Amino acid sequence: MRYYCPGCWEDFPEDTAKCPACGLGIHQAWKSKDYVQKLIAALSHREQSTPIRAAWILGKLRERRAVGPLIELIGRTNDVYIATAAVNALKEIDTPEARAFLKTLAGHPTRMVREAAGHINVETLEDA
């Protein structure tokens, strides 16, 4: 089992109260966050499957608080699978902000992201 710091995502073999890399109080940091905040933090994890899984869960929860962080994730990642997971989550959350952002992805340089964003209801987009 590996443990991760929610601040710098450094990993270490043992549970520790303070991150040996950045000094963050790990236990207190986790106690101060609710489930959704922890999922949003996981969008920045450096291990590829973690942000994909977090985006999927946020989409299934239709968590409106995740719209901004998911949009930011798409803008900063070079990983097509992470970006596609974020697009799919935004489609499920389906807020006006998410729909408006998805419209902007028509010109995204990655075909997979463009196609994921294109699988949305055109009639709904016209209302946004």
Per-residue pLDDT 10s for the chain (128 aa) are: 889 999 899 999 999 999 999 999 999 998 999 999 999 999 999 999 999 999 999 999 999 999 999 999 999 999 999 999 999 999 999 999 999 999 999 888 998 999 999 854 444 444 44
Indicate whether 58 and 10 sit together in one domain.
Answer: no
- β-bridge mates for residue 25, sequence order: 18
Q: How many domains does the chain have?
A: 2
* Residue 121, CB-side half-sphere exposure with 13 Å CA sphere: 9
- Output the domain CATH number for residue 114: 1.25.10.10
Residue-range definition of the domain harbouring residue 41: 34-127
Dihedral (Cα; 57, 62, 67, 73), 10-degree rounding: 20
> Residues 69, 84: one domain?
yes
- Total-model pTM: 0.83
DSSP class of residue 106 equals G
- Residue 91 has a pLDDT of 96
Instruction: Tell me which residue of 11, 77, 80 sits closest to 44, measured CA to CA.
Output: 77
Instruction: Specify whether 17 is located in the same domain as 57.
Output: no
Give the type of residue at 26. I
Cα dihedral 75, 57, 91, 87 in deg (nearest 10): 30
50 and 96 share a domain?
yes
Reduce the DSSP state of residue 65 to 3 states and report it.
helix
pLDDT given for residue 126 in this prediction: 47
